[in-house]
């Protein structure tokens, strides 16, 4: 089998390799109603979903591009392929996955991670999930972990009840786009009282060039349940741009807790424009841990709607804006019930002329009592060419509200470097130590494996950046 694997240079983007495009089916470039019909046909969907898509397409066409955030002026919707089917079937066994696709995931370390510390894995290659598996005991307890297509077929009542309710297609242009052409992603349902104590992970890989990946994830945590879902993403390095525009909806019913961790590491030609939102009912908790490395442009503001008494929302966001990159990330919490609390912690690093912006919003609806919110954003700028911005918005309509907001921008100071170097560390190691130190309070929140992964990614980003 011929594989054209690009050599991997240490210090460069490590996942920039690709295999030949062997899609079994692809729509033609550009977006038309015809493309939407083809996707729907391929998935043999019920009519209601086809209609949902077509309506969403209209919304996409109607909606203007955002006139704020990252610079998207070079994004050309006509140059993108919206659907590419890598294989005709999905497997529960890695050995049944086509060789090159399997090799890709092996190089990304997924099967190994699955063995060691995951309760279930989904692996998406371009438009489709090619692998999906979950521990038998969880399945026996009624936990559902599948792609959304399967859920549409097998659990239409659940899907119909929640799909597109947390993030309606009309929410924003990219949510509309995703709703029109979505393919792949995850569907998770955790029955009442069930705690999934080791993470489920989905891994999203783009292989094709000038491609758009539009996965759709819906997580429903029933009363008093718990689940930790982890998402990882990478793509090859091409000369042209790709688009990743996902929609992730989380529903945490009474007393449930959902933690969603993203370690995104896109190549530098991916536009990453993602809408993520969770709703937390009475005493429920939704937590987003969002690590944004790589990509050309990222616009992503995970949010929590605190809709029930005692609900809690927490967002930890890490962004690393390197050369040619613009990370416009942040968080949003909307309090619509009393006794709710939210905590937002953002850490951003910019280097080599990159930009990292924090954009956040806290909204408190009228007539509420005992609402608390704490926002903390720290930015570290590594060199004079790089930029950091902070855009905090507050819309507070109740009186009994305690809001704290702290923002700090720091630079790696010559004094810190001198101090560490006077103890024997060379400049590169001293800078890395300062950066890791900056992130430490956040990284500590991650499970060990992901903390290690994140530290390793930061190290790669930092390599070759100093003298």
Q: Which residues bind another protein (CB under 8 A)?
A: 413-416, 418-427, 429-430, 433-434, 436-441
C-beta of 259: minimal distance to another protein in Å?
23
CA–CA dist 279, 228 (Å, integer): 16
CA–CA dist 335, 368 (Å, integer): 9
C-beta of 373: minimal distance to another protein in Å?
24
Q: Which residue(s) pair with 359 in the sheet?
A: 330, 391
CA–CA dist 364, 400 (Å, integer): 10
C-beta of 421: minimal distance to another protein in Å?
4
Q: Which is nearer to another protein, 104 or 348 (CB)?
A: 348
Q: Which is nearer to another protein, 398 or 455 (CB)?
A: 455
C-beta of 466: minimal distance to another protein in Å?
12
Q: Which is nearer to another protein, 427 or 463 (CB)?
A: 427
Beta strand ranges found along 74-179 (DSSP E): 84-85, 120-125, 128-134, 144-146
Q: Which is nearer to another protein, 136 or 423 (CB)?
A: 423
Q: Which is nearer to another protein, 3 or 413 (CB)?
A: 413
C-beta of 390: minimal distance to another protein in Å?
19
Count how many Cα atoms sit within 13 Å of the Cα of residue 42 in the half-sphere of its side chain. 23
Q: Is 119 helix (H, G, I), strand (E, B) or coil?
A: coil
What are the CA-CA distances from residue 402 to residues 134, 362, 395, 399 (Å)? 42, 12, 13, 9
Distance of CA 314 to the CA centre of its chain: 15
Q: Which is nearer to another protein, 10 or 414 (CB)?
A: 414
CB contact at 8 A, 83 and 39: yes
CA–CA dist 52, 168 (Å, integer): 10
CB contact at 8 A, 167 and 175: yes
C-beta of 57: minimal distance to another protein in Å?
47
């Amino acid at each position: 089998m011929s594989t054209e694997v690009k050599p991997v240079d240490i210090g460069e983007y490590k996942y920039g390799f690709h295999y030949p495009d062997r899609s079994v089916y692809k729509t033609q470039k550009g977006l038309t109603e015809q493309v939407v019909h083809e996707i729907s046909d391929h998935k043999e969907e019920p009519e209601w979903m086809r209609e949902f898509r077509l309506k969403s397409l209209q919304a996409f066409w109607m909606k203007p591009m955002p006139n704020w955030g990252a610079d998207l002026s070079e994004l050309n919707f006509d140059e993108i392929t919206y659907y590419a089917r890598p294989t005709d079937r999905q497997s529960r066994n890695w050995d049944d996955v086509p060789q090159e696709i399997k090799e890709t995931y092996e190089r990304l370390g997924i099967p190994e991670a699955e063995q060691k510390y995951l309760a279930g894995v989904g692996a998406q290659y371009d438009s489709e999930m090619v692998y999906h598996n979950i521990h038998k005991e969880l399945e026996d307890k009624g936990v559902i972990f599948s792609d959304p297509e399967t859920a549409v077929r097998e659990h239409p009542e659940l899907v119909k009840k929640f799909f597109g309710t947390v993030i309606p297609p009309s929410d924003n242009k990219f949510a509309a786009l995703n709703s029109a052409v979505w393919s792949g992603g995850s569907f998770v349902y955790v029955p009442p009282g069930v705690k999934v104590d080791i993470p489920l992970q989905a891994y999203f890989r783009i292989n094709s060039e000038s491609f758009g990946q539009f996965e759709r994830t819906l997580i429903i945590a029933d009363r008093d349940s718990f689940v930790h879902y982890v998402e990882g993403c990478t793509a090859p390095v091409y000369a042209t741009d790709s688009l990743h525009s996902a929609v992730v909806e989380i529903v945490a019913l009474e007393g449930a807790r959902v933690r969603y961790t993203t370690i995104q590491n896109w190549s530098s030609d991916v536009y990453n424009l993602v809408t993520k939102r969770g709703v937390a009912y009475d005493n429920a908790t939704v937590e987003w841990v969002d690590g944004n490395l790589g990509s050309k442009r990222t616009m992503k503001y995970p949010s929590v709607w605190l809709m029930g008494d005692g609900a809690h929302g927490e967002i930890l966001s890490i962004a690393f804006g390197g050369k040619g990159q613009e990370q416009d990330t942040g968080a949003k919490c909307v309090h619509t019930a009393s006794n709710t609390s939210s905590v937002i912690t953002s850490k951003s690093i910019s280097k080599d002329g990159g930009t990292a912006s924090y954009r956040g919003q806290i909204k408190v609806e009228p007539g509420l009592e005992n609402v608390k919110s704490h926002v903390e954003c720290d930015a570290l700028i590594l060199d004079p060419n790089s930029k950091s911005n902070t855009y905090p918005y507050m819309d507070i309509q109740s009186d009994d509200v305690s809001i704290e907001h702290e923002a700090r921008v720091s630079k790696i100071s010559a004094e810190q470097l001198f101090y560490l170097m006077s103890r024997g560390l060379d400049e590169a190691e001293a800078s890395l130590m300062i950066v890791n130190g900056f992130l430490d309070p956040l990284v500590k929140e991650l499970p060990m494996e992901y903390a290690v992964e994140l530290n390793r990614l930061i190290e790669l980003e930092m390599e070759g950046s100093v003298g």
